[in-house]
């Protein structure tokens, strides 16, 4: 039987049945990404249906991004990338809507700092100061590892000189760090452990390197260490990707014991720890102590990646990496091969911003602001959503990870689309899992883009839908 064939039933429009059949095949890989589909005429003949039926099914698939028609060539299935698709869907939301409606949008999905909290004036001041001070150098001159001034600032202000500026490599954001280290250490078929759930952008890179990815459940103090040890004992793994503070999306912070245990395993079983320290500047619960895997590393097992985009300004695309000595050379090569170097002007501006202590002031300010929202959101969810959902308090970061309780029948993808109709944006849990459906009962709710009034309003809308 040809895979396009299906037995139609009488209750549903034929085009819808055909659409669902094809969609399912694309989803489960029976129709592969970039595979050429049968022509409309061919399908119509094969299934003995009107061409209009096939046209309508194809149209719907195209609208939803499952297929693409190239004039003069044919129709093709699209290689799906849930990370990108969702990102696109998220940003398209803003593009599609009239600005009137946009103003009322309640964005619990945004991951980056709110624009009203950003000191554009101060940053503009340092930008201009850099242009006056360095002239054309700021726009021309490039250093292999990044602007040495910024590397010195990072060494001094963020590491109290415990890391030499020569060991710091400037990168264009954390995503590039994950990409670079994957280029250096992950070959097709290599094994990698990730947290379950985790940041989809990392998962996406590992998959594109054709790594075998093992998900280990997140508990309240980090990954399930017994399950973890079972994997590393059985399989030679190359790396473990982790966010040690306010993990994305769970908000979990690792206990010191768990970090020490994982470092011990990394030594014993010879794997690297890729630590994505993405939001540790925002600590509301003062009992949380800041000790990264990197600072505890006693035998060169940790690759440390830090983004400035998340907390500061996504548009500046800056971050840095610290690597064990043996990997340094290869990592530098991979950076040069990736994009030669990171934009020089932005590095100089950030350097001056840090040296003038604006950075430190700004982080303090953000901690105060976000703490208010953090408390307000928690209170609103507890009071309004009550037992419809459950969640833990992360104690820092920019979001809560929420579980929809069992008696509620709506799954998180439906919830995403139904919220969006009401101008509320959340992130469906599936985004953070290897298998999308594993996140059906979870969603992430962030508070970086919303003020207190919007939080209350948004949670009330969520409540109605749930």
Q: Which of residues 300-339 bind a copy of itself (CB under 8 A)?
A: 300, 309, 313-317, 325-326, 329-330, 332-334, 336-339
Where would I find the beta strands (DSSP E) of 292-362?
Answer: 302-307, 319-322
Examine residue 280 and tell whether it contacts a copy of itself (CB under 8 A): no
Examine residue 248 and tell whether it contacts a copy of itself (CB under 8 A): no
Q: In this structure, what token pair is assigned to residue 400? A: 């809560």
Q: How far is the CB of 285 from a copy of itself (least distance, A)?
A: 28
Task: Report strand pairing: 424-425 vs 106-107.
Answer: parallel
Residue 323 C-alpha from the chain's centroid? 22
Cβ proximity to a copy of itself: between 88 and 101 the closer is 88
Tell me if residue 19 falls in helix, strand or coil.
helix
Helices (H), 135-255: 137-140, 148-153, 159, 174-185, 200-208, 225-234
Query: Which residue of 345, 375, 461, 465 would you call a contact of a copy of itself, by CB under 8 A?
Result: 345
Show the site string, 197-236: x = touches a copy of itself by CB under 8 A, - = not. ----x--xx--x----------------------------
Question: Which positions from 29 through 58 interact with a copy of itself, judged by CB under 8 A?
Answer: 33-34
Rounded CA-CA distance 27/49 in Å is 24
Q: In this structure, what token pair is assigned to residue 93? A: 């939301």
Question: Which positions from 77 through 116 interact with a copy of itself, judged by CB under 8 A?
Answer: 78-79, 81, 83-84, 87-88, 91, 112-113, 115-116
Task: Report strand pairing: 237-242 vs 399-404.
Answer: unpaired
Cβ proximity to a copy of itself: between 46 and 336 the closer is 336
Q: Does a cis peptide bond (omega within 30 degrees of 0) precede residue 197? A: yes
Question: Which positions from 399 through 438 interact with a copy of itself, judged by CB under 8 A?
Answer: none
Examine residue 8 and tell whether it contacts a copy of itself (CB under 8 A): no
Cβ proximity to a copy of itself: between 98 and 325 the closer is 325
Question: Which positions from 139 through 168 interact with a copy of itself, judged by CB under 8 A?
Answer: 139-144
Are 217 and 439 in contact by the 8 Å Cβ rule? The answer is no
Are 175 and 338 in contact by the 8 Å Cβ rule? The answer is no
Angle at 447 between CA 241 and CA 365, to 5 degrees: 95
Cβ proximity to a copy of itself: between 288 and 330 the closer is 330
Query: Which range touches a copy of itself (CB under 8 A), out of 52-60, 65-73, 258-266, 427-435?
Result: 65-73
Examine residue 1 and tell whether it contacts a copy of itself (CB under 8 A): no
């Amino acid at each position: 039987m040809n895979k396009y064939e299906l037995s139609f039933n009488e209750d549903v429009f034929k085009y819808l049945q055909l659409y669902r059949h094809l969609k399912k095949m694309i989803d489960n890989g029976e129709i592969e990404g970039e595979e050429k589909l049968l022509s409309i005429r061919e399908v119509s003949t094969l299934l003995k249906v009107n061409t209009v039926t096939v046209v309508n099914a194809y149209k719907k698939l195209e609208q939803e991004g499952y297929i693409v028609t190239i004039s003069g060539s044919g129709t093709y299935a699209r290689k799906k990338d849930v990370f990108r698709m969702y990102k696109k869907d998220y940003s398209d939301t803003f593009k599609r809507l009239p600005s009137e409606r946009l103003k009322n949008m309640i964005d619990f999905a945004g991951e980056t700092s709110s624009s009203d909290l950003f000191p554009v004036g101060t940053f503009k001041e340092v930008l201009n100061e850099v242009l006056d001070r360095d002239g054309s150098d700021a726009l021309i001159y490039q250093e292999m590892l990044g602007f040495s001034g910024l590397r010195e600032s990072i060494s001094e202000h963020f590491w109290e000189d415990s890391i030499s500026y020569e060991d710091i490599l400037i990168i264009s954001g954390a995503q590039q760090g994950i990409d670079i280290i994957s280029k250096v250490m992950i070959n097709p078929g290599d094994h990698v452990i990730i947290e379950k759930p985790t940041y989809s952008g990392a998962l996406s890179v590992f998959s594109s390197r054709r790594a075998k990815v093992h998900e280990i459940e997140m508990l309240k103090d980090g990954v399930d260490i017994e399950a973890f040890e079972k994997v590393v004992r059985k399989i030679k793994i190359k790396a473990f990707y982790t966010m040690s503070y306010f993990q994305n999306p769970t908000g979990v912070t690792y206990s010191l014991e768990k970090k020490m245990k994982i470092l011990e395993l990394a030594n014993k079983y010879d794997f690297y720890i890729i630590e994505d320290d993405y939001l540790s500047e925002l600590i509301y619960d003062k009992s949380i102590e800041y000790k990264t895997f990197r600072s505890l590393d006693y035998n060169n097992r940790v690759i440390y990646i830090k983004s400035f985009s998340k907390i500061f300004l996504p548009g500046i695309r800056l971050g840095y990496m610290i690597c064990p000595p043996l990997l340094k050379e290869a990592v530098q090569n991979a950076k040069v091969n990736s994009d030669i170097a990171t934009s020089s002007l932005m590095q100089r501006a950030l350097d001056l911003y840090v040296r003038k202590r604006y950075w430190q002031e700004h982080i303090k300010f953000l901690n105060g602001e976000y703490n208010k929202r953090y408390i307000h959101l928690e209170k609103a969810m507890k009071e309004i959503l009550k037992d419809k959902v459950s969640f833990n308090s992360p104690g820092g970061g920019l979001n809560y990870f929420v579980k929809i309780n069992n008696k509620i029948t709506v799954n998180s993808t439906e919830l995403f689309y139904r919220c969006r109709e009401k101008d509320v944006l959340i992130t469906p849990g599936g985004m953070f899992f290897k298998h999308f459906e594993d996140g059906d009962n979870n969603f992430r709710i962030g508070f970086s883009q919303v003020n207190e009034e919007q939080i209350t309003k948004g949670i009330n809308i969520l409540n109605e839908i749930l």
